[in-house]
Structure 1
Amino acid sequence: MDNIDNEAIEVIRVPDGRPIKMWTEGVPVEEDARRQLVNTARMPFIFHHLAVMPDVHLGKGSTIGSVIPTRGAIIPAAVGVDIGCGMIATRTTLNASDLPDNLHPLRVAIEQAVPHGRTLSHGRRDEGSWENPPELVNTLWSELLPRFKRIVEKYPRLKASNNHKHLGTLGTGNHFIEVCFDEAQRVWLMLHSGSRGVGNAIGNTFITLAQADMRQHLANLPDRDLAYIEEGSEHFDDYLEAVGWAQDYARGNRTAMMANLIAATRKVIAKPFGVDVEAVNCHHNYVQKETHFGAEVYVTRKGAVSARQGELGIIPGSMGARSYIVRGLGNVEAFCSCSHGAGRTMSRNEARRRFSIADQERATAHVECRKDKSVIDEIPMAYKDIDAVMHAQRSLVEIVHTLRQVVCVKG
């Protein structure tokens, strides 16, 4: 473990590749994730080094919790298929004492206000989408539509993706909506989601195109999901346009859900309250052009948050652990980044095998949430210790607020 500017950073020197700098002190890192990082570091267009966050774990193609700077190429599978996935949070003027003792009606109101989950049925509406989108969603979609039409002209298959009716909806997996208290017992509203079905379709389209363009070279890649699109090639500018649009869609998706979350809360809480006292809306699965070490590079954050000096971000724990509002310290060695959460310690299938509904009930006893077998894969014990994760990245961010959830809605 090297000491860089008094930081405990593990540095992996990669033969025929770039170094890997890991902010993982006191946090376990699986060997499969280390191998995957080395594979990425050997790609010829990696710039300077890879930065690895303390929530690091094995991902598809590239490692979740990694910051991948590139010059002249982008790896679509590193950005992933939940393009623009991220967090939004806002502090209200409510205090904990303003909420009722029984929070079940509030959870029900939120579940009714925001489509969530997913159903696959023959010809019927997916329960995770709108039947008739509300006015706010229609307005947001009208703003996104002209750019989407340009993308669809080149890639017609994207038109059939679930786009308009997914805007303002939660999804499944680790996506959630929460009501939280901070250290001063003030009430926060927070949620986690991305670009839904249309982002998935865009991601998969360009992953497939990258692999097709590199068909002759796939055998030489350590992983076919490291297939990349070179700057100046046929699909590069199209990918940047599509991924940028999906990131804007994801941000609008969170904005729409937050508006409906606030409205649902106002239906249950009689006391008038204000919002946007402090607000954050940040991606953690995305790519954008930035300047680092004197060069313009494409920075892919795969499960990582921008943490420039003074920039606010959100680092959620699991559905039974604390979450954090943080302020970036602008650590240049980390490409001004931090973790996007606690990070999983086991797969969803392993969590389902290992834990029971009784375990879930004990772990979330303080939270008004579902506790059935369909959410066992999100049990807090399937995640790393958020306190250890925060300690490992003490040179990347400072904690502004510590949140504990009292209501959690899962897809």
Structure 2
Amino acid sequence: MSSLKINGKKLLEIGYPQSPVFRIAMDVIEKHYGHYTEEEAIALLTKVLADPAAYADDAILGEIAQELLVPAAPAVIALRETPVPYSVYGESYIEEGAVKQLNNAVRLPVAVAGSLMPDAHQGYGLPIGGVLAADNAVIPYGVGVDIGCRMCLSVLDLPVQTLLMNETSYTKQLMTFTKFGAGAEWKKREADPVLERSEFKEIKFVRNLFDKAAGQLGTSGSGNHFVEWGIATITDPQNEWQLAPGEYVALLSHSGSRGMGAQIAGHYTQLAKEICPLPEHAKHLAYLDLDTEEGQEYWLAMNLAGDYASACHHLIHKRLINAMGATLLARVENHHNFAWKEMYQGKEVIVHRKGATPAGKGVLGIIPGSMTAPGFIVRGKGEEGSLQSASHGAGRLMSRTKAKSSITNEVLKQQLLEHGVTLIGGGLDEAPGAYKNIDTVMAAQTALVEVIGQFVPKVVRMADGGPPED
């Protein structure tokens, strides 16, 4: 029976890391080198520590060497004591959890500035409605799960009376040419330039998503995603399309990059967490340096997902516009859940807008309300304090669980009836009462955008209920 035992204190003294290798080394010495003196055992362990690769294939010492060759887990990255500057719009009706999440984000070592929009509510990493400028780094969860989720509004030449008097025809085309839900695909696949992008060949992880992307092109997700017919009212006589002020039939859609975007988000978020460990309360804010291979890969994949989301909207609109025999007069579209390279105080930064609309000076956007509330066509004012951003909608007042437990089908039906809205699909978690008052939200961001028109929903199609994709 061996009498020689090496303890952890001795291993620390000769430089062994405090890790599972402690137990392995002690067991190996006791089992195989009990006849050594303590000095001889320490000398042997010191040699293995100095050059573990030389002993990796050794029948006995290889177990110690291989454990030493395992890369040490990176140290947790500390947050700043003092936050970088940030602004909050409509703070009095933003939940505390969202403000706390922004407070974490603006303490990241790479943070430059932040902002919180009046529709903000708690999410993962950045809050929904959170905006963060970072120095040469991108935060996958600062972009969000549904990468490139966007709004697209098409103003058409159809007489408004045709929608009011012949809603059945509009409803039929909406049912025929849209498809909703997680995993939804069209049997007949459409060709599109986005499917020919080199990223599908050059990025290994994205390569495996091609078939999913091809099948889901031109479909919409679940949760708060929708396609709806309605009436757009142009109020600004100096509008960019030179349209006469007045009412027009319009088509509005909201969805993102479908399963492809969700899988890109999940993969690179996990990678960021491994490379960039943060304190537990900030772990979803893990970031990738854009000078690294991983950072560049995510950046390319994110941009591909954003362009794919745009292609989905354009295909949906093309099908419906053709089906109605209409002509496109004007279009407004904008991403949220994305990151952009922009200038801030003379320096290039990465601006993350998770559930926030770009609102640079002169930039157009559409900010929806709910299935019964108007949305607003806006022109950005380029406000630096908001990082040239505005809200992406009314924002949730209730969680999905609370909405389902506190809003009844009868209440929803009555609200739809009062506003003259036909709903196809949808669930109580998307009922108007689950959202903040869009007029209150818009009043809190008059410094950020000017309103040049609005959109009132009339026929709304959504998925039949279920978890959101963004």
Please give the range of the TM-score, normalised by the shorter of the 2 chains: 0.7 to 0.9
Counterpart secondary structure, 2:293? coil
- Alignment correspondent of 1:391: 443
- Alignment correspondent of 1:347: 399
Q: Which amino acid aligns with 1:243?
A: M
- Alignment correspondent of 2:247: 185
- Alignment correspondent of 2:88: 22
TM-score by length of 2: 0.75
**Are residue 34 (structure 1) and residue 89 (structure 2) matched?**
no
Q: Tell me, in whole angstroms, the C-alpha distance in 2 between the residues paired with 1:157 and 1:367.
A: 46
Deviations, residues 225-270 of structure 1 (Å, cap 9, x unaligned): 111112323301111111111111111111111111212333xxxx
**Are residue 239 (structure 1) and residue 298 (structure 2) matched?**
yes
> Aligned ranges for residues 231-310 of structure 1 at < 5 Å?
231-266=290-325, 273-275=326-328, 277-310=329-362
- Alignment correspondent of 1:172: 222
Q: Tell me, in whole angstroms, the C-alpha distance in 1 between the residues paired with 2:130 and 2:211.
A: 29
Tell me, which stretches of 5 or more residues in structure 2 are unaligned? 1-79, 234-245, 464-470
Tell me, which stretches of 5 or more residues in structure 1 are unaligned? 1-13, 119-125, 267-272
State the Cα distance separating 1:147 from its structure 2 match.
2.3
- Alignment correspondent of 2:22: none
Q: Tell me, in whole angstroms, the C-alpha distance in 1 between the residues paired with 2:411 and 2:211.
A: 38
TM-score by length of 1: 0.86
State the Cα distance separating 1:224 from its structure 2 match.
1.8
Q: Tell me, in whole angstroms, the C-alpha distance in 1 between the residues paired with 2:192 and 2:121.
A: 38
Q: Tell me, in whole angstroms, the C-alpha distance in 1 between the residues paired with 2:351 and 2:156.
A: 33
> Aligned ranges for residues 79-90 of structure 1 at < 5 Å?
79-90=143-154
Q: Tell me, in whole angstroms, the C-alpha distance in 2 between the residues paired with 1:88 and 1:305.
A: 12
- Alignment correspondent of 1:270: none
Deviations, residues 36-95 of structure 1 (Å, cap 9, x unaligned): 111111111111x21111111101111111111000322111111100001111111223
- Alignment correspondent of 2:429: 377
Aligned residues: 371
Q: Which among 110, 122, 131 is matched to residue 174 of structure 2?
A: 110
State the Cα distance separating 1:201 from its structure 2 match.
0.8
Larger RCO, structures 1/2 (Cα 8 Å, 6+ apart)? 1
Counterpart secondary structure, 1:182? strand
Q: Which amino acid aligns with 1:242?
A: A
Percent identical pairs in the alignment equals: 36
CA contact (8 A) 1:110 1:265 kept: no
Q: Which among 50, 55, 65 is matched to residue 119 of structure 2?
A: 55
Q: Tell me, in whole angstroms, the C-alpha distance in 2 between the residues paired with 1:221 and 1:230.
A: 20
- Alignment correspondent of 1:316: 368
CA 1:131–1:371: 2 relative to 1, 3 Å: closer
CA 1:94–1:371: 2 relative to 1, 3 Å: closer
Q: Which among 117, 124, 128 is matched to residue 64 of structure 1?
A: 128
Counterpart secondary structure, 1:395? coil
Counterpart secondary structure, 1:99? helix
Deviations, residues 135-162 of structure 1 (Å, cap 9, x unaligned): xx31334433x321212xx326743762
- Alignment correspondent of 2:193: 140
CA 1:116–1:264: 2 relative to 1, 3 Å: farther
Q: Tell me, in whole angstroms, the C-alpha distance in 1 between the residues paired with 2:122 and 2:460.
A: 26
CA contact (8 A) 1:24 1:53 kept: yes
